[in-house]
Amino acid sequence: MSAISPSSSERRGVHRLIWRWHFYAGLFCLPFVLWLAITGMIYLFKPQLEPWLERHYAHVTHAAAQPPSAQVAAALRAVPGSVLNAYVLPESPETAARILLGRGSELIRVFVNPSTLQVLDVVRENDRFMRVVFYLHGELLLGRGGSMLVELAASWTILMLLSGLYLWWPRNARLGGALYPRLRHGRRVFWRDLHAVTGLWISLFALFLLLSGLPWTTTWGGTLRSLRHTFAANTASQDWTTGGASEHAQIKQENTAPDEHAGMNMPGMDMSHMSMPVDYAPLDRLVPMAAAQHLAPPVLIAPPSQRSPHWTARSDTDDRPRRSDVTFDADTGAVLQRSSFAQKPWLDRIIGYGVAIHEGVLFPPLNQILGVFTALGLITLCTSAAVMWWRRRPAGVLGAPSAADRRYPYGLIGALVVLALLLPLFGVSMVLVWVIERHVLRRSPRASAFLGL
């Protein structure tokens, strides 16, 4: 292996190697990037879409409300075998009461008329439109395998963007084609410039979105979770999940009464419906106490569970830096503890800010505008790449840049190793691609010719 030489032929060789990595990264990533851009753009408008979708429950009564415990009892009668997961503090006396019920690892949302106690609707939490979009975006509705596939696509997209910036880097002082597309040099130049210039303007935003989404993934996020538990001095619970399995485990904790397994948990037994009965009467005095705390809505008031042995009120706002949790004494309503976002470990705060920006809620509406700008830019990148490939591809072959018989320079190897260490799933897939190309595809003359090997 040789170091990068300043000669023009050597630079052209390195350029072709990086172009080849860029081409194959794009070939794999483009369908996923389009999918993530479209679903992510829809999810950005959750603050506007969710109230509109539930507009029928915004004004259901003008009469005095029944006690919260009575509203919960009505909801429990509508869903046999369930327990109270959380009571959502009403933001207006006219709105339907929203009550989250738990059954194992499942959440069910019940809408109740607070005056008449009529059950207006019962819907599984994961069947709500924005939750479906959330899982389409993060897991392709495929569970753990889908999360790993999205993580793999995100990792290769990072390589695609970094290699694209290298290929874009201007070799002369011209601005046309570097900062803006040239419009009078023919279609070929236009599509090339549109691709390169769009990549320049959205790369940093796209890289941020990709990196801030990694903590939610099964593999990368699960590794981060393990490191956090191993090295964090603060024992505060992690308030983001790493894939659907992690979320279901957390929900099951919330749906299980505290200490219910003590002395009676046996292997193979499902204890989720064998909890001691929980007294919901404290809810009537805790609702006004929770309202007095002025937490950012929506506010969830939850009974004791394996996750917390006390009644709690927690802000579930998407803007995570505004979240706070309050723990109450069930008998007196006294505040036992209040914790805010500022008290969380520094890693949790960094991820919290990243997730809030990722979801477009930290500084609306500019945050949403930047998110839409990035998503539209990624769609433009994918479209222009497909057009360029289709127009330039030679007949009968894929059209990848040919693999020159040249050893990788140390600088490029070092960059790929660092990226593989930071993104382990990418590293494993990169080695797998290299092995398949070297020991399988090169042995087939037809495959080798088609792929430009």
CB 320 within 8 A of CB 239: yes
Amino acid occupying residue 320: R
Predicted confidence (pLDDT) at residue 396 exceeds the cutoff of 80? no
CB-count burial class (<10 Å; 0-12, 13-18, 19+) for 168: middle
What does the DSSP assignment read for 137-167? HHHTTSHHHHHHHHHHHHHHHHHHHHHHHHH
Which pLDDT score is estimated for 167?
A: 86
CB 451 within 8 A of CB 436: no
Helix (H, G, I), strand (E, B) or coil at 278: coil
CA distance 224 to 216: 10
Predicted confidence (pLDDT) at residue 268 exceeds the cutoff of 50? no
Predicted confidence (pLDDT) at residue 85 exceeds the cutoff of 70? yes
Sheet holding 119-124, edge to edge: 119-124, 106-112, 97-103, 83-88, 299-302, 311-315, 324-328, 335-340
Helix (H, G, I), strand (E, B) or coil at 298: coil
Which pLDDT score is estimated for 257?
A: 87
Which pLDDT score is estimated for 406?
A: 59
The set of residues, in sequence order, having a beta carbon less than 8 Å from that of 173 and lying 6+ positions away, is none
Which pLDDT score is estimated for 243?
A: 78
CA distance 97 to 54: 12
Using the 8-state DSSP alphabet, how is residue 180 labeled? B
Predicted confidence (pLDDT) at residue 273 exceeds the cutoff of 70? no
pLDDT tier for residue 234 given thresholds of 50, 70 and 90 = low
CB 317 within 8 A of CB 297: yes
Q: List pLDDT tens digits, range 284-322.
A: 999 999 999 999 999 999 999 998 999 999 999 999 999
Residue with tokens 């979240």, as numbered in its chain: 323
The set of residues, in sequence order, having a beta carbon less than 8 Å from that of 97 and lying 6+ positions away, is 65, 68, 71, 75, 87, 88, 90, 111, 112, 113, 114
Structure tokens at 71: 């509203």
CA distance 66 to 69: 8
CA distance 422 to 417: 9
Which pLDDT score is estimated for 188?
A: 83
Torsion of CA 307, 308, 311, 315, to 10 degrees: -70
CB 57 within 8 A of CB 95: yes
Q: List pLDDT tens digits, range 116-131.
A: 999 999 999 999 999 9
Structure tokens at 300: 């969830």
Query: What element of type H or E holds 328?
Result: strand 324-328
CB 143 within 8 A of CB 245: yes
| SS3 assignment for 68-133 | HHHHHHHHHHHCCCCEEEEEECCCCCCCCEEEEEEECCEEEEEEECCCCCCEEEEEEHHHCHHHHH
CB-count burial class (<10 Å; 0-12, 13-18, 19+) for 190: middle
Q: Give the residue-averaged pLDDT of 420-425.
A: 93
Q: Which residue has the higher pLDDT, 199 or 401?
A: 199
Q: Average pLDDT of the chain?
A: 88
Q: List pLDDT tens digits, range 153-186.
A: 999 999 999 999 988 887 776 766 678 788 777 7
CB 51 within 8 A of CB 58: yes
Q: List pLDDT tens digits, range 10-46.
A: 677 778 888 888 998 998 999 999 999 999 999 999 9
pLDDT tier for residue 391 given thresholds of 50, 70 and 90 = confident
Which pLDDT score is estimated for 277?
A: 54
pLDDT tier for residue 357 given thresholds of 50, 70 and 90 = very high
Which pLDDT score is estimated for 185?
A: 77
CA distance 410 to 404: 16
CB 423 within 8 A of CB 159: no
CB-count burial class (<10 Å; 0-12, 13-18, 19+) for 327: middle
The set of residues, in sequence order, having a beta carbon less than 8 Å from that of 95 and lying 6+ positions away, is 57, 58, 59, 60, 114
Residue with tokens 């505004």, as numbered in its chain: 322
What does the domain layout of the chain look like in residue ranges? 8-45+135-214+366-451, 62-115+237-260+275-344
Q: List pLDDT tens digits, range 323-341.
A: 999 999 988 889 999 999 9
Structure tokens at 24: 């194959």
Q: List pLDDT tens digits, range 238-260.
A: 778 887 778 888 899 999 988 75
Which pLDDT score is estimated for 5?
A: 45
